[in-house]
């Protein structure tokens, strides 16, 4: 008979409710004191000129960013230059001084990801509320002001007392400007008048000398006061940043604030009083939370079994759950990257500065324990430059987590389906070839035969050099050399799934080949294969097939990349894609053969795709059957994977 924790159910409820209220009080208090990495975009623009040589500029970017990362991680500021002449890459980044080292890394990671979206333009700048980044093809490090300076006002929300607000706001921004000029080029503070308080922050880049910092902040004050009576405003200048708001927006535990009147004294008294009360409550909550977490740990041990726990704990794959919580700021929604097949993915920064993707798994029941460990083993046993690397896992907390390498450019679909972003033909073809090589490795070259089952654009991640990485092995299956196929429940993404797999549930490597073919055609056309129902995929293939037969390649290729001189190469890629999507699995090439075809020019001996490449299997009855399965939910369409949009 199990021992009761509390003497009565009612007492148990009362005690836990008290703990909940105390915890909530603490969270509310610290919530006002810790503003996190503040990765909201305050302003962004790209220059109007395009690089003389996109190839040379592209080669300089990752080297410069790598050097900049080490500087920012160490000092919160960095500047570097790579290359020379019109293709030189000058880049600068800086965090607000109130950010913790972890928050600075998280904020800079967003700068690194978003800033390079201006490529192939020669310059770009990005203001986040917690950090700043800029690149150009000339040395701009000493610039304080230029034609792109601007003020951004929250005009949708205005003070009900405009005259009073204007006076208090002017005092707040004026004070922080003077304070920043006198001290370390950074200051925060507030000004108050009865029930109105305005908070302000001012910062100059470390690259500016004192004179330029002063002129930049003076200009920022002149610009930002025009925002009144808007309750929030920002001044975004070449050499400095200023912000005011009626809400406290900086990290109190990282700064000392300057303020007019008696505001700072009130803060000190308030913090001391609350701190004393919360210290007592905190001790109680800490003791209770240890008991709760201990019981949670024991539950995880029961769930996975002592053998599994010991095996993972003693391996080089083990991560502590507490470390992953800190790396992701307690799985904060601002760090969410996407939704996977069986979990949610968050961006994290480990204590050593490494950026990772943490997949927080939904499935934590006993019957999933073996599958979890098998998946970890499966992914850990495959190593290829075009597969996302598994760094480890954690089962020592209340839920299981997988830890993967983080890819800066996120997923392929965020490029090819976004009219504001683009990849040239060479980059697209390199991605096609890289994915083909990764799949060929899984099918034929690794120690175990693996079928991915969910190849699609959102599961192809791109690193800082735009090299493709196949991600999300949540649906992957392995099988022996003597097996011709697996009979399994249908799972995947409609539009990418092979006809024979949808209809009969027979899984072979050719299902991945079909999905790859669809992906190739999406990359070439810039169009999605998916839509409402299976018919959307049919129409996608039919349109391409008809234009291919008519030799109307101009009607197939994405307008953003089509060039007459590249027509043959693009047509060859379409030919390979259609071969991979033929209805009969035996007519599709192996991925090893696909790699050979992509590495060589079109061979006259290459087979011709059948006409049409899908209706042989998807008869009217078959389409009706699939439509019924879709309507009843028997064929799941999986949501986003490790990659993000």
As a whole number, mean pLDDT of residues 111-133 equals 89
As a whole number, mean pLDDT of residues 55-72 equals 82
Name which of 4-8, 283-287, 421-425, 546-550 the model is least confident about: 4-8
Name which of 37-41, 117-121, 315-319, 370-374 the model is least confident about: 370-374
pLDDT in tens, 198-218: 999 999 999 999 999 999 999
Spatial distance between the Cα atoms of 409 and 550, rounded to a whole number of angstroms: 37
pLDDT confidence of residue 106: 84
Name the residue with higher pLDDT: 94 or 31: 94
Spatial distance between the Cα atoms of 328 and 319, rounded to a whole number of angstroms: 13
pLDDT confidence of residue 334: 84
Contacts of 478 (CB under 8 A, 6+ apart): 378, 448, 449, 450, 451
Cα-Cα-Cα-Cα torsion 249, 253, 256, 261, nearest 10 degrees, comes to 60
As a whole number, mean pLDDT of residues 493-517 equals 84
What is the percentage of the chain residues whose pLDDT exceeds 70?
72
Name which of 247-256, 302-311, 347-356, 493-502 the model is least confident about: 302-311
Residue 576 has pLDDT above 90, yes or no: yes
Residue 293 has pLDDT above 60, yes or no: no
Spatial distance between the Cα atoms of 585 and 501, rounded to a whole number of angstroms: 10
Return the ∠ at Cα 239 (arms to 235 and 244), rounded to 5°. Answer: 25
Confidence of residue 225 (pLDDT cuts 50, 70, 90): very high
In the chain, the largest separation of any two C-alpha atoms, in whole Å, equals: 86
Confidence of residue 438 (pLDDT cuts 50, 70, 90): very high
Sheet containing 131-136: give its strands across. Answer: 41-46, 124-128, 131-136, 89-95, 77-82
Residue 312 has pLDDT above 50, yes or no: yes
Tokens 């830890």 — which residue?
A: 403
As a whole number, mean pLDDT of residues 415-436 equals 91
pLDDT confidence of residue 340: 60
Q: Measuring CA to CA, which residue among 220, 47, 196, 40 is closest to residue 131? A: 40
Positive or negative, the CA dihedral 178, 98, 286, 346 is positive
As a whole number, mean pLDDT of residues 425-453 equals 92
Element (H, E) at 90: strand 89-95
Confidence of residue 409 (pLDDT cuts 50, 70, 90): confident
As a whole number, mean pLDDT of residues 154-171 equals 92
As a whole number, mean pLDDT of residues 293-307 equals 46
Residue 98 has pLDDT above 70, yes or no: yes
Residue 614 has pLDDT above 60, yes or no: no
Positive or negative, the CA dihedral 553, 559, 565, 571 is negative
What Å distances lie between residue 116 and 65, 128, 275, 428, CA to CA? 10, 14, 44, 17
Provide the 10 A C-beta neighbour count for residue 190: 25
Confidence of residue 289 (pLDDT cuts 50, 70, 90): very low
Most confident residue range from 422-431, 533-542, 631-640: 422-431
What Å distances lie between residue 429 and 19, 164, 446, 522, CA to CA? 57, 61, 24, 12
pLDDT confidence of residue 501: 79
pLDDT confidence of residue 247: 93
Give the residue numbers annotated as catalytic, written as ranges: 454
Name the 3-class secondary structure at 71. Answer: helix
pLDDT in tens, 509-544: 999 999 999 999 999 999 988 654 445 556 788 888
Rg (CA), the chain: 29
**Residue 637 gets which letter from DSSP?**
B
What Å distances lie between residue 521 and 429, 452, 457, 581, CA to CA? 11, 19, 11, 10
pLDDT confidence of residue 228: 92
Spatial distance between the Cα atoms of 151 and 173, rounded to a whole number of angstroms: 14
The answer to whether 359 is a known ligand-binding residue is yes
Name which of 349-353, 404-408, 501-505, 506-510 the model is least confident about: 501-505
Phi then psi dihedrals of residue 567, to 5 deg? -55, -45
Name which of 276-280, 403-407, 413-417, 517-521 the model is least confident about: 276-280
Asked if residues 240 and 208 have their Cβ atoms less than 8 Å apart, the reply is yes
pLDDT confidence of residue 61: 82
Asked if residues 207 and 141 have their Cβ atoms less than 8 Å apart, the reply is yes
Positive or negative, the CA dihedral 571, 573, 576, 581 is negative
Cα-Cα-Cα-Cα torsion 274, 278, 279, 283, nearest 10 degrees, comes to 180
pLDDT confidence of residue 519: 96
Give the length of the chain.
645
Name the residue with higher pLDDT: 143 or 628: 143
Spatial distance between the Cα atoms of 232 and 198, rounded to a whole number of angstroms: 9
Confidence of residue 616 (pLDDT cuts 50, 70, 90): very low
pLDDT confidence of residue 433: 97
Name which of 83-87, 154-158, 413-417, 637-641 the model is least confident about: 637-641
pLDDT in tens, 335-382: 888 776 567 889 999 988 889 999 887 655 544 555 566 567 667 778
pLDDT confidence of residue 633: 41
Confidence of residue 67 (pLDDT cuts 50, 70, 90): confident
Query: What is the CA 21 to chain-centroid distance, rounded?
Result: 34
Average model confidence (pLDDT) for the chain? Answer: 77
Name the residue with higher pLDDT: 489 or 165: 165
């Amino acid at each position: 008979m199990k021992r009761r924790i509390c003497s009565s159910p009612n007492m148990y409820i009362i005690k836990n409710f008290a703990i909940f209220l105390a915890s909530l009080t603490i969270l509310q208090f610290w919530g006002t004191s810790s503003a996190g990495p503040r990765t909201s975009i305050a302003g962004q623009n790209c220059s109007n000129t395009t690089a003389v040589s996109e190839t040379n500029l592209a080669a300089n970017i990752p080297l410069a960013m790598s050097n900049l990362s080490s500087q920012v991680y160490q000092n919160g500021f960095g500047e570097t230059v790579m290359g020379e002449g019109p293709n030189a890459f000058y880049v600068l980044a800086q965090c607000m001084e109130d950010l913790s080292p972890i928050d600075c890394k998280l904020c800079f990671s967003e700068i690194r990801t978003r800033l390079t979206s201006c490529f192939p333009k020669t310059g770009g700048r990005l203001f986040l509320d917690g950090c700043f980044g800029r690149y150009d093809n000339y040395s701009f490090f000493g610039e304080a002001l230029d034609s792109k300076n601007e003020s951004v006002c929250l005009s949708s929300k205005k003070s009900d007392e405009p005259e009073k607000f204007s006076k208090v706001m002017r005092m707040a921004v004026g004070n922080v400007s003077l304070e920043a000029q006198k001290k370390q080029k950074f200051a925060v503070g507030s000004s108050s008048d009865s029930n109105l308080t305005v908070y302000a922050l001012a910062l100059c880049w470390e690259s500016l000398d004192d004179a330029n910092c002063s002129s930049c902040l003076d200009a920022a004050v002149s610009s930002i006061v025009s925002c009144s009576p808007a309750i929030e405003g920002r001044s975004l200048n070449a050499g400095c940043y200023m912000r005011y708001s009626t809400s406290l927006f900086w990290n109190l535990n990282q700064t000392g604030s300057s303020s007019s009147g008696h505001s700072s004294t009130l803060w000190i008294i308030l913090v001391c009083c609350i701190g004393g009360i919360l210290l007592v409550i905190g001790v109680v909550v800490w003791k209770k939370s240890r008991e709760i977490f201990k019981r949670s740990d024991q539950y995880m041990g029961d769930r996975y079994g002592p053998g599994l726990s010991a095996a993972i704990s003693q391996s080089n794959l083990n991560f502590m759950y507490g470390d992953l919580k800190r790396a992701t700021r307690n799985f904060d929604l601002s760090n969410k990257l996407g939704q996977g097949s069986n979990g949610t993915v968050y961006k994290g920064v480990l204590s050593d500065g490494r950026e990772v993707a943490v997949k927080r798994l939904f499935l934590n029941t006993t019957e999933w324990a073996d599958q979890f460990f098998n998946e970890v083993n499966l992914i850990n046993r495959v190593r290829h430059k075009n597969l996302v690397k598994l760094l480890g896992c954690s089962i020592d907390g209340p839920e299981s987590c997988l830890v993967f390498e983080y890819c800066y450019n996120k997923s392929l679909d965020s490029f090819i389906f976004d009219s504001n972003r683009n990849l040239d033909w060479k980059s697209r073809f390199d991605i096609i070839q890289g994915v083909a090589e990764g799949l060929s490795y899984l099918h034929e070259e690794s120690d175990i035969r693996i079928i991915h089952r969910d190849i699609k654009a959102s599961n192809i991640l791109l690193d800082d050099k735009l090299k493709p990485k196949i991600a999300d092995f949540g649906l992957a299956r392995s099988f022996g050399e003597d097996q011709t196929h697996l009979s399994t429940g249908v799972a995947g993404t409609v539009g990418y799934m092979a006809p024979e797999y949808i209809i009969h549930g027979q899984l072979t490597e050719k299902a991945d080949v079909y999905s790859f073919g669809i992906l190739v055609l999406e990359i070439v056309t810039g169009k999605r294969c998916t839509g409402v129902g299976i018919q959307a995929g049919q129409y996608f293939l039919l349109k391409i097939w008809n234009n291919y037969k008519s030799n109307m390649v101009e009607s197939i290729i994405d307008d953003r990349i089509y060039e007459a001189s590249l027509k043959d190469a693009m047509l060859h890629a379409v030919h390979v894609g259609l071969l991979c999507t033929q209805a009969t699995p035996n007519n599709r090439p192996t991925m090893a053969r696909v790699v050979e075809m992509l590495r060589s020019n079109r061979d006259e001996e290459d087979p011709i795709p059948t006409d049409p490449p899908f209706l042989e299997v998807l008869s009217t009855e078959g389409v009706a059957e699939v439509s019924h399965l879709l309507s009843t939910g028997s064929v799941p369409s999986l949501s986003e994977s490790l990659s993000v949009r």
